Structure 1
């Protein structure tokens, strides 16, 4: 009869094993690194079994077993073992690893060279090639309880703890290894689920960004290039060991992920911006360029002049003075249209004198003979409900701002004040009046259209702040929604000052502006050379962008690395950017 004293070491060893098993299962369930989890599983299994070597196979989507890990330093074989015969489709059960995977059952082999149930020629060939001697073997499935195996563990040569001699594997320890393998399978499944969700989220974000880029040729690949540049600059800031940014760093992959997602979503609100506003290349452009309608009025007026001259000739009332007046009227008409057309292009700023001339030209009259309500949609007719219907033919100004050109702003189209937006909202949603548009002082956008462009930040913030981001992504809306804020507090949509702009937000502002200045795929503008873009940012450093971030952009060489990858070689006219350094915020 065994005494209690003799059983004490056994109980102590079992307690140590159980404690180790519990700790291993807890650690595996907490792991977020697939490779580390697999290595832990293989190593812990080998420790529990007190054996000389171990190999791990994983089941592939192609229904094969591939070598994943081994404890020995020998290179992993590249060949894979099919679970089923290619020609017959029958189970390939002559291999012990395949048998374990197919039947979800552990297999004990006391002597490899005496084994007749399975084909172990591969193991024996390995022994011959390496000089190793495989005797005992244990093959265990990696499978959750009640689930199909996702892999196989194979252990070789159990060792006697006292003598170190190779012995058969203890059947009682098989259950412990199966328990670890089952826990690892659950952990791997959970990890795979998390990774697949992350991959899906990343893909959806990129699809949205690419869709915004594809929506308009005027945005080009902006949503793709800005995140790349922002990450390059954030990496430089994280690596800074001196200067004002030496204390900044993203210290975990989760922080990098949060910033990457924010960068990719920085313009997601543009999905709501109409293309005809984003793409507005001339002042009279909506869905089409309305200069053609204006030109036809001038054409009509010219023909009216020609008709009047012919009628006068037929009546015998023509003279040299009449000819001179006729030619002067034609020349004035040509000059007036050329002026209106030049105003429409919007490449030059308009002063008071130009605006006054525009109104004088617009006040000239032409005669309309056809009913302009015919062929209209119900919505267009409704927009004219407050207008009188003049008797035809009628005289109309060449250019006008009509009631029908005003699109009222619905109450629901105003920003929700609960988000803290501070933007001046125009009274009307759109004003398509011809004089109103042609009289834009600079560029092609009216006040209403410029707000519509800027409003994409309102939608970016509201869209993202309504999304249930997990805790480690809670700053995504901040990173995506602040790149149009300014250091002097005059930006949008919230007019945040420097005390409320984080380093990542400031990085996003520099990346966004530099990409927009240098992009060569914008049909509406010529890309700036590198020297021109850096000069613009140098002037903006301080009131608009953070000078410390801009100076790091230069000193780190990020500007040149990005330029060499994305700019046309003809744009790169700066190699040393030291002349563009701005006075630092702290200096």
Structure 2
């Protein structure tokens, strides 16, 4: 008996250490069989008002289904209630659950309490004889039943004959069932918390994507290409990454960082993220400029009419008469068209254009009551003078600050130890190999491999994304060419980009998420030559 108690303790220790559910089920059932000398057994998990077979193991029949066997259990669930709603007390295991007690049947062929017709039919088909049964409900720490253990045919080690389960067997299995229930419940709680955390992470990512229709899907797509490149690193057996292998937990950590890499964009104002034109805030202020030009145009027309009325004799206008300000009206039209061009991010504003803007801005308009205003405010002139794109230096800094915001936000979260590097990985996706990135200007020697992978994935997704209305999505060859040039300029990791190209780790992503016209032929040699 002392040896059996020691084995029970050893099994309990193994239960506490195991994190894989199929292996956990195996430890429970095989441990129960070992403690009692049972030939067979089944483990059930409660699902609603039915018991699902999770694992079946019978030594003499060589039967192993469920668990780590790779063979699914083909037996249907056992209902806990009859068709009329009464509790099912016809089966040994359902009685153990419904009455919350251990049930010991010494000999099924002599027992009159339960319906063993199904068991006897099985015996006839297989030549087996199911004789002694021991069913024990598994109750967790709150007294809630989560399943049951059922053992079959206790074997006398001296004679090899089937014998009833003893009272010692009952005590040992009841103790094991209690430990098993706690271990399974703990595993469920841990898995549930992981699923909740992952769901919250995806919720945040989806909210960020929904914040802007022009970057929608970015937070969802970056993890896909990130993990594709990480798997390529694991599969590489060459000199570059042959000694590197991400563990399952490290892969989980990287994927979580990829989902959260842009969480700081929660703090970025929508009018900056979605600034289509230089004068756009909540609305495009070019319409205010148009309204002011209309005031100037109106004033010109009024002045012209007054001049004509004041003319001696009120003579009719002659051909070529410009008293209505025709030349000035044309000048306003040209200025208005010029301002509209400057308002577009694709229009390059050089020094000559800035001088022209300043001259236009200096014009004055007169409002009712005699108040005068400039045609362009200082802020409007500043925004229209942006050389390329639509963002001012201050707005670009706001955009860039999302990485720092992501890092600061994530560093406040109590990540478990195996996820402790999520903030560093997520916050470093805009760092550069030459140390000129942001938010912290970390040099290559201090950048983790995971951060470098995420940086490449972020750029690849941005270059191939088709939801950016302000530009056409790049093809695969265009994207990889641009990335090769960025690599040569010190932006991204050369070895990782080479692996991405050599392994074609982007192909599955591209086939699923890119447009057909983007899937062109990639000239690997030409692109890699850019890196030399």
TM category (shorter chain) comes to over 0.9
- Shift, 1:319, TM fit: 6.0
Secondary structure at 1:541's aligned position in 2? helix
Q: Deviations over 1:415-457 (max 9, x none)?
A: xxxxxxxxxxxxxxxxxx0101000111000111111111111
Q: Deviations over 1:381-410 (max 9, x none)?
A: xxxxxxxxxxx3123221121xxxxxxxxx
Of 30, 44, 55, 1:69 maps to 55
Of 250, 258, 264, 1:255 maps to 250
Relative distance call for 1:563 and 1:578 in structure 2 (3 A) is farther
Structure 1 segment 123-142 matched on structure 2, within 5 A? 123-142=119-138
Moved more, 215-224 or 242-251: 242-251
Aligned partners of 2:45, 2:221: CA distance in 1, in Å? 38
Secondary structure at 2:506's aligned position in 1? helix
Moved more, 16-25 or 227-236: 16-25
Relative distance call for 1:582 and 1:486 in structure 2 (3 A) is farther
Aligned partners of 1:231, 1:40: CA distance in 2, in Å? 32
- Shift, 1:283, TM fit: 0.2
Q: Deviations over 1:132-162 (max 9, x none)?
A: 2112221122224671321111111121212
Secondary structure at 1:122's aligned position in 2? helix
Aligned partners of 2:296, 2:167: CA distance in 1, in Å? 104
Aligned partners of 2:427, 2:139: CA distance in 1, in Å? 45
Tell me, yes or no, if the aligned pair for 1:366 and 1:395 is still in contact at 8 Å: yes
Aligned partners of 1:190, 1:170: CA distance in 2, in Å? 30
Answering whether residue 82 of structure 2 is matched by residue 85 of structure 1, we say yes
Task: Give the structure 1 partner of residue 491 of structure 2.
Answer: 544
Task: Give the structure 2 partner of residue 509 of structure 1.
Answer: 455
Of 440, 449, 468, 1:494 maps to 440
Aligned partners of 1:90, 1:437: CA distance in 2, in Å? 77
Aligned partners of 1:497, 1:145: CA distance in 2, in Å? 51
Aligned partners of 2:399, 2:82: CA distance in 1, in Å? 62
Q: Deviations over 1:279-318 (max 9, x none)?
A: 0000000000000000111112122222222222222376
Aligned partners of 2:439, 2:221: CA distance in 1, in Å? 23
Aligned partners of 1:229, 1:102: CA distance in 2, in Å? 50
Structure 1 segment 16-35 matched on structure 2, within 5 A? 16-35=3-22
Aligned partners of 1:146, 1:529: CA distance in 2, in Å? 58
Aligned partners of 1:170, 1:158: CA distance in 2, in Å? 9
Of 176, 194, 198, 2:190 maps to 194
Of 204, 209, 213, 1:208 maps to 204
Q: Deviations over 1:194-226 (max 9, x none)?
A: 111111101000000001101111221000000
Of 513, 518, 523, 1:571 maps to 518
Answering whether residue 170 of structure 2 is matched by residue 185 of structure 1, we say no
Aligned partners of 2:64, 2:188: CA distance in 1, in Å? 28
Task: Give the structure 2 partner of residue 416 of structure 1.
Answer: none
Task: Give the structure 2 partner of residue 334 of structure 1.
Answer: 333
- Shift, 1:558, TM fit: 1.6
Aligned partners of 1:18, 1:74: CA distance in 2, in Å? 26
Of 515, 518, 521, 2:464 maps to 518
Secondary structure at 1:113's aligned position in 2? coil
- Shift, 1:68, TM fit: 1.2
Of 46, 54, 60, 2:33 maps to 46
Of 17, 41, 44, 1:57 maps to 44
Of 164, 167, 178, 2:163 maps to 167
Of 557, 568, 571, 2:504 maps to 557
Relative distance call for 1:570 and 1:95 in structure 2 (3 A) is same
- Shift, 1:320, TM fit: 5.7
Aligned partners of 2:381, 2:487: CA distance in 1, in Å? 36
Structure 1 segment 260-409 matched on structure 2, within 5 A? 260-316=255-311, 322-323=321-322, 326-369=325-368, 392-401=369-378
Secondary structure at 2:413's aligned position in 1? coil
